[in-house]
Amino acid sequence: MAHRTDFLLSNSQRGREIVIFENNKFHKCNYVSSLCAFRWRCVQKMCNANVYISEDSKSIVKISSTHTHDPVTDKQILLEKVANSVKRKALDDFSNPPAKIVRTEIINADAVQSFAESDVMNVRRCVYRSRRKVVPRLPKNLKYNSGNSENVPPS
Ligand SMILES: [Zn+2]
């Protein structure tokens, strides 16, 4: 088998190393000394597909077993890509309205043709969700706290 190099080394949102190969994502696993390569396992639960990538991360030296799930479509990849960049932008600049961020990122990803109205709405929800995590909601009832009475000096 000729070694394949048509994969992408990237970082997951949590900063983990991932490999994207034929639209599937793989997590780095153990080092396999007989192949001088690392084993990367498909991130999908219950899937045992593996690729083995050379130590220098330059080529896939072995592909083993097939995926047990439906193939991931280009559309899914694109949706995820836009959603991720939208989430990032949403937290970088709070002054931008979600609709504007979403529009800009869809154009940046060259995804205008692929996005249906429902996709746009889904991505827009990501903005609200990720912002809500950072900005706490104001409490509904502000109680005036007069402080700890034990600290009140004796009169
Ligand atoms: Zn898989």
Q: Over its length of 155 residues, how does the chain's per-residue pLDDT go in tens digits?
A: 568 999 999 887 778 899 999 999 999 999 999 999 999 999 998 999 999 999 999 999 999 989 999 988 888 888 888 998 898 888 888 888 888 999 999 999 888 888 888 989 988 888 888 888 877 766 666 665 555 555 556 65
Beta bridge partners, 31, equal 38
The alpha carbon of 71 and the centre of ligand 1 are apart by a number of angstroms equal to: 8
The alpha carbon of 109 and the centre of ligand 1 are apart by a number of angstroms equal to: 25
The alpha carbon of 68 and the centre of ligand 1 are apart by a number of angstroms equal to: 6
The alpha carbon of 55 and the centre of ligand 1 are apart by a number of angstroms equal to: 22
Helix (H, G, I), strand (E, B) or coil at 17: strand
The alpha carbon of 85 and the centre of ligand 1 are apart by a number of angstroms equal to: 24
